Structure 1
Amino acid sequence: MSTPKPHEWMATTIAAGNTGVATVVTLLVLVFLYHKMRAAMARQIREQLHRRLPPGPAGTLPVIGNLHQVLWHRPAVSRWIHGLLEEMGTDIVCLRLGPVHVIATACPEMAREVLQKKDAAFASRPATFSSGLASFGYKGAILSPHGEQWRKMRRVLTSEILAPSMERQLHHLREAVSDHLVRWVYDTARRGNGTVDVRHVAQHFCGNMVRTLAFGKRCFGAPPAASASGGPGEDEVAHVAALFTLIHNIYDFWASDYIPALVGLDLEGHEKVVKRAMRTLNRLHDPVIEDRIGCRETQREARDFLDVLVSLDDAQGEPLLSLDEIKAQTLELMFASMDSPSNVVEWALAEMMNMPDVMHKAIDELDTVVGKDRLVQEHDIPRLNYLKSCIREAFRIHPYHALHEPRVAMEDTTIAGYAIPKGSHVILSRTALGRNPKIWTEPLEFRPERHLNALEDGAVGLGEPGLRFISFSAGRRGCPGISLGTSVTMMLFARMLQGFTWTEPPGVGVGNIGLQESKIGHGLAEPLVLQARPRLAAHLYRTN
């Protein structure tokens, strides 16, 4: 074999080197072109998505979008949105609030797509001024955006706080609050010539329940600090008012929730209101929580939700939850349990006062299933199908919140073929779903029988898997406490119906209870005030 000459070897080496360089250059060019094409395709997809957004209202402006229309229609923004759906003849509408797309829908199929079929894509929550403050910087499970913190606290909530074993363990606490309700209404009626403010009773029953389950006691001070009739004291009234303040402000279309640069200016005044409510809640909660943390080492058995939160350990035997996590989860549990039970019971009673046949059927069921020799108990609930149908009907027609809590799209996706860009807020209309004439015959009529007719397994539940209306939601962000929520709601309703005969107050004719909605929200415009007369043996109103 002949040896290459030096100049031939050099030429071969240079050629090989040139080939290597060319290969590298070619690869770099291909990578560059790939990224350029990918960016162009992504841009094209985004443009296509933008072109295929759900229909929006007229009057959308550059930069601020529809924020000016939201401000103009405050405080009844939800009614404006429902008006848009009707005027535009659509089941879905897209608003642009600053840089954020807000999509509202009123269709069960679309609701199922959001909360069931594509639940993973809509598993986050928006960050707002109020939600950040109420959750101590997103330390809880209900308000936190999707992420590790949410997963951690969701596990705590589902496997520890709202576990079936804990629900059974705390049954005696719920029973004590239900017994107190009967005695309290009895004393209130006796002292007030039979007159009872149903809204006051229902809201403070819920307040008593959440404090008892969370802290093991109905009152912040000793029971004598409450009013002579057994009702709430000054601290308890302030507590319930502060919780409702949070409920009304957390997701209420504040401009700064869409344009964060406005936070701190408090142009709409809600920041001051929420801060004041949080000062009240911290004043009442902090001493209880800090005292319980101080007793952590000596506490042997979980007596309430707070004990569970304080006692949890990590793998190293250290406290699993920080102080802020305990505060956040305690507060979230409280405000999440306040509005719906009290609202649906007030509305159900109001509707039934104008429908004597419905009232009689409910009372007959109680007398048949429970009788009049004892008070209704939680174990009776599965057999009280007509009462549960009345509550379902109140959930359907009269949700406390017209709009479901927003979900945030974590990726570009679609609803019913419409494009939903990443970061969009998706809200389901509770009222439009429950009152949809395509789903419900005579949707504004209070007809509990419509739920009995849909029975398949012989039992009525308060949940609605088909999302024809929304009670406890669904999916990853759905309420994990359906069983507890059902018990609290039904015990309030059943004890009120079983324990008392309700009649119109003086000056109001039979069947003339006003059913007007509030101009701001969807509760009754005026608190329901009725006459209550005991219908059971006297000794049943002296339960301890």
Structure 2
Amino acid sequence: MEYYGFTLLLATFTLYFIIKFLTKHNKIHKLPPGPKPWPIVGNIPEMLANKPAFRWIHKLMRDMNTDILCIRLGNVHVVSVSCPSIACEFLKKQDANFASRPLCVSAELVSSGYLTAVLVPSGEQWKKMKRIISKELISPARLQWLHDMRIQEADNLVRYVYSQCSNNNKDGVVNVRVVAQQYCGNVIRRMLFNKRCFGEGGKDGGPGLEEEEHVKAIFTLLKYLYAFCVSDYIPCLRWLDLEGHEKKLKEALGVLGKFHDPIIEERIQQWKDGGRKEKEDLLDVLIMLKDANNNQVLSSQEIKAEIRELMMATVDNPSNAVEWAIAEMLNQPELLKNVTKELDSVVGKERLVQESDLCKLNYLKACTREAFRLHPVEPFIPPHACMADTVVSNYFIPRGSHILLSRKGLGRNPKVWDHEPNKFEPERHLNNGPEGSSSDDIVSSLTDPDLRFLSFSVGRRGCPGGMLGTSMTLMLLARLLHCFTWSVPPNVSTIDLIESENDLSLAMPLVATVKPRLPTKVLQKIAF
């Protein structure tokens, strides 16, 4: 027994010194500041004792008064950044060195073994899928091709909310989170599959049980994707699934497969049999991609994985921003008046707001920018992986480090936003943000070139769907505020703007009272 104990002790110290050797950094430049790590496990004990991990990281940054922090999880250095100038060094100045993604359990499962565009480490697969996404799926020309589908769903959105004002719901109380999330789900389902419902849908025009299950599964995947998981830093523990992440991910993937796979497989067969002649949606585009030798570019597994990724990339950011924006404006009614005044000036009350109007709605865009700044959908953007030892902001960043740009830290950094950074104030963007933008640069209206906040990421790993995400977010908010009057529910004085403990969404879904705002003849043109 003494022999085995000595052997184990020797092995432990040997592993410790190997890690110390491998992580030995430049003597001139130090690692960014951070808590002292334990041997072997690093700061994993603190991470597990201070859940959720993102709040622990942000607290460390506040307590240490630093805009860049380094913690070690296992032998992986995890660097968090909340300073725009440092963020620009990572995503602009040294973008090529940080254009990869870390390997982790969640990304591997969701991407079916790294077959997609967003979650894949740097390499040929990533280049192929990125090219397909940018040129074939969400290019300006392709989005214009799918314009009518998006308008169909914008009309369906109005129908559904209008139905809540009927005699069956005299108070017109609406769950804004359900409305926003289902609208986003409907838009991407329509664009991918040319259908909004997997079943019959709700009788009031809202989601059916199938759509509710589908959206819930998507948000489950988003919840655990890149979540801090011990087995990502100590891979030998993966088989234990200590936090249960892998089980929950597989269950949610099963739900999406149940709805997606029959449609995809049937469509592939239709093209093979010659039963389908024309492309109607993005699934057709993916299936019919051919190389120079007229061979299929994508396998069925790649198609399934990429469709799953597109679903996930579309539903969360717009719905979260709009829910928070309306919640904030309900507590500041003068902001609602400003938005509706602009809508009436640009659009009027005799028709519904359209995508072509969005470029002229500067105050609406300012409200949306402020929602992205103050209430990002996730604490961090998807992590970047460092591909070679480097120095950033005079700190040594070792190869293999995971870089986390803090959406919340950037958006609320008091050194950048010196005027009440925690207050929802759209006017700050009218002074500093792009104004009078044309339809050609509509994406820039919701982004910040200096990375003072992050709506859609930039650089080689930047979000290729910025144009789609921008139009969906603005259209959702514009239709809701143009067509309806919103107020706090009966017996409620103000909306409680408390974040959920485990994420950045509202702790309680936003429920508000809604009444038709446009003339009945306008709304009834699209009524059931």
TM-score (norm 1): 0.89
| CA distance in 2: counterparts of 1:302 and 1:167, whole angstroms | 14
Identity of aligned residues (%): 50
| CA distance in 2: counterparts of 1:368 and 1:48, whole angstroms | 60
| CA distance in 1: counterparts of 2:75 and 2:292, whole angstroms | 43
| CA distance in 1: counterparts of 2:259 and 2:436, whole angstroms | 44
Listed one character per residue, the Cα deviations across residues 14-59 of structure 1 (whole Å, up to 9, x for unaligned) are xxxxxxxxxxxxxxxxxxxxxxxxxxxxx7994426971111114x
Match of 1:418 in 2: 395
Is 1:151–2:134 an aligned residue pair?
Answer: no
Listed one character per residue, the Cα deviations across residues 306-351 of structure 1 (whole Å, up to 9, x for unaligned) are 1110010112111110011101111111101111100010000010
Is 1:210–2:194 an aligned residue pair?
Answer: no
The structure-2 alpha-carbon separation of the partners of 1:45 and 1:262, relative to structure 1 and needing over 3 Å to count, comes to closer
Match of 1:116 in 2: 92
Match of 1:535 in 2: 517
Listed one character per residue, the Cα deviations across residues 205-242 of structure 1 (whole Å, up to 9, x for unaligned) are 11111111111110113xxx211111111111111001
Look up the equivalent residue of 1:375 and give its one-letter code: L
User: Any conservation in 2 of the 1:189–1:531 contact (CA below 8 Å)?
Assistant: no
Listed one character per residue, the Cα deviations across residues 235-271 of structure 1 (whole Å, up to 9, x for unaligned) are 1111100100110101111001111111121111111
User: 3-state SS of the aligned residue for 1:465?
Assistant: coil
Look up the equivalent residue of 2:519 and give its one-letter code: A
User: Any conservation in 2 of the 1:128–1:250 contact (CA below 8 Å)?
Assistant: no
Match of 1:405 in 2: 382
Match of 2:343 in 1: 366
Is 1:519–2:501 an aligned residue pair?
Answer: yes
User: Any conservation in 2 of the 1:103–1:424 contact (CA below 8 Å)?
Assistant: yes
Listed one character per residue, the Cα deviations across residues 431-456 of structure 1 (whole Å, up to 9, x for unaligned) are 11100111112101111111111255
Structure 2 stretches of 5 or more lacking a match? Answer: 1-20, 438-443
Matches within 5 A, 1:351-390: 351-390=328-367
Match of 1:288 in 2: 263
| CA distance in 1: counterparts of 2:521 and 2:301, whole angstroms | 45
| CA distance in 2: counterparts of 1:492 and 1:198, whole angstroms | 11
Match of 2:208 in 1: 233
User: 3-state SS of the aligned residue for 2:477?
Assistant: helix
Match of 2:139 in 1: 163
Equivalent of 2:462 in 475, 478, 486:
478
| CA distance in 2: counterparts of 1:140 and 1:50, whole angstroms | 39
User: 3-state SS of the aligned residue for 2:26?
Assistant: helix
User: Any conservation in 1 of the 2:351–2:522 contact (CA below 8 Å)?
Assistant: yes
Using the TM superposition, name which of 370-379 and 532-541 deviates more: 532-541
Listed one character per residue, the Cα deviations across residues 69-96 of structure 1 (whole Å, up to 9, x for unaligned) are 111112x211111110111111111111
Would you say how many aligned residue pairs link Structure 1 and Structure 2? Answer: 495
Match of 2:15 in 1: none
Listed one character per residue, the Cα deviations across residues 340-375 of structure 1 (whole Å, up to 9, x for unaligned) are 100010000010011111110000000000001000
Equivalent of 1:177 in 153, 158, 162:
153
Is 1:464–2:441 an aligned residue pair?
Answer: no
| CA distance in 2: counterparts of 1:228 and 1:397, whole angstroms | 36
Matches within 5 A, 1:444-455: 444-455=422-433
Structure 1 stretches of 5 or more lacking a match? Answer: 1-42
Equivalent of 1:106 in 68, 72, 82:
82
User: 3-state SS of the aligned residue for 1:530?
Assistant: strand
| CA distance in 2: counterparts of 1:158 and 1:44, whole angstroms | 38
Match of 2:3 in 1: none
Look up the equivalent residue of 2:34 and give its one-letter code: G
Look up the equivalent residue of 1:300 and give its one-letter code: K
User: Any conservation in 1 of the 2:433–2:448 contact (CA below 8 Å)?
Assistant: no
User: 3-state SS of the aligned residue for 1:48?
Assistant: coil
Is 1:337–2:321 an aligned residue pair?
Answer: no
User: Any conservation in 1 of the 2:360–2:436 contact (CA below 8 Å)?
Assistant: no
Equivalent of 1:57 in 27, 31, 35:
35
| CA distance in 1: counterparts of 2:466 and 2:89, whole angstroms | 21
Residue 296 of structure 1: how far off its partner (Å): 1.8
Match of 2:440 in 1: none
| CA distance in 2: counterparts of 1:103 and 1:358, whole angstroms | 37
Listed one character per residue, the Cα deviations across residues 107-132 of structure 1 (whole Å, up to 9, x for unaligned) are 00111011111110000111111111
Look up the equivalent residue of 1:174 and give its one-letter code: R
Residue 192 of structure 1: how far off its partner (Å): 2.6
Look up the equivalent residue of 1:213 and give its one-letter code: M
| CA distance in 1: counterparts of 2:433 and 2:411, whole angstroms | 18
Equivalent of 1:245 in 196, 220, 224:
220
Residue 540 of structure 1: how far off its partner (Å): 2.9
User: Any conservation in 1 of the 2:434–2:445 contact (CA below 8 Å)?
Assistant: no
| CA distance in 1: counterparts of 2:448 and 2:329, whole angstroms | 22
TM-score (norm 2): 0.92
Is 1:85–2:38 an aligned residue pair?
Answer: no
| CA distance in 2: counterparts of 1:391 and 1:490, whole angstroms | 7
User: Any conservation in 2 of the 1:215–1:304 contact (CA below 8 Å)?
Assistant: yes
Matches within 5 A, 1:68-83: 68-74=45-51, 76-83=52-59
Matches within 5 A, 1:181-192: 181-190=157-166, 191-192=168-169
Residue 287 of structure 1: how far off its partner (Å): 0.4
| CA distance in 2: counterparts of 1:79 and 1:419, whole angstroms | 25
C-alpha RMSD of the superposition:
1.5
Is 1:316–2:293 an aligned residue pair?
Answer: yes
User: 3-state SS of the aligned residue for 1:501?
Assistant: strand
